Amino acid sequence: MISYVSNQIQDMTSSNWSLLFQLTIKNFASHNCITNEYLSNPETIYRLHTFNKVKDKAIWHIHGEVDYPRTIMLGQEKYSNSLSRIINYTVKRSDSKFSDGVRSWVDLFLCSDVHIIGFGFDFSEIDLWWVLNYRARVKFQNEISINNKIVFHVRKSNNVNPDYNVRNKSLIRLLKSHDVDVKEYDLSYIDLYKEVISNF
């Protein structure tokens, strides 16, 4: 894990339940779990609007958090229920054109530049694929002004693992069809992380 996080990065999303992001921020002391103030009750199961505040960073654990076991997303039922909440939230928010600030990690994918690093983007991640599909659709149909960019940073395919190469090529084609820029690197994983983060 990289031992620093750029000062330019304000929001981070993680599909991991662990607190590794929090631990990478220098002088990590403690974190506060915060639910956006427009919600009247804290989220106890699905973490759509809840983030951890560490110094000046907001860390969104989109699939739950180890300190709150009920929030951990495992299985089709949990993912399907989460997706239902994402769809309902997004449809309601589309009336405001997402112009009134970040209320959820979903808003980041619609309003902020997003750089995806170290995430395999498995085809089973139905919540994230739905958000990418929604964003691409409303952008190309001019329903909502979408001006952000999403960039997926990945290692180049190699000749060592044919299965990885086939999956990687399919993934890249699918991401590009969802209006995601793909940057490929001929680097080790750790060097790729350092290269991307050094550009912030």
pTM above 0.75, yes or no: yes
Percent of the chain with pLDDT over 90: 24
What tens digit of pLDDT does each residue of 130-144 get?
Answer: 999 999 999 999 888
What pLDDT was estimated at residue 14?
78
The residues near 116 (Cβ < 8 Å, ≥ 6 apart) are 150, 151, 152, 153, 180
Torsion sign over Cα 9, 94, 70, 81: negative
What tens digit of pLDDT does each residue of 42-97 get?
Answer: 778 888 888 887 777 788 888 988 888 888 888 899 999 999 999 999 988 876 66
Q: What mean pLDDT is reported for the chain?
A: 81
The CA-to-CA distance between both ends of the chain, in Å, stands at 17
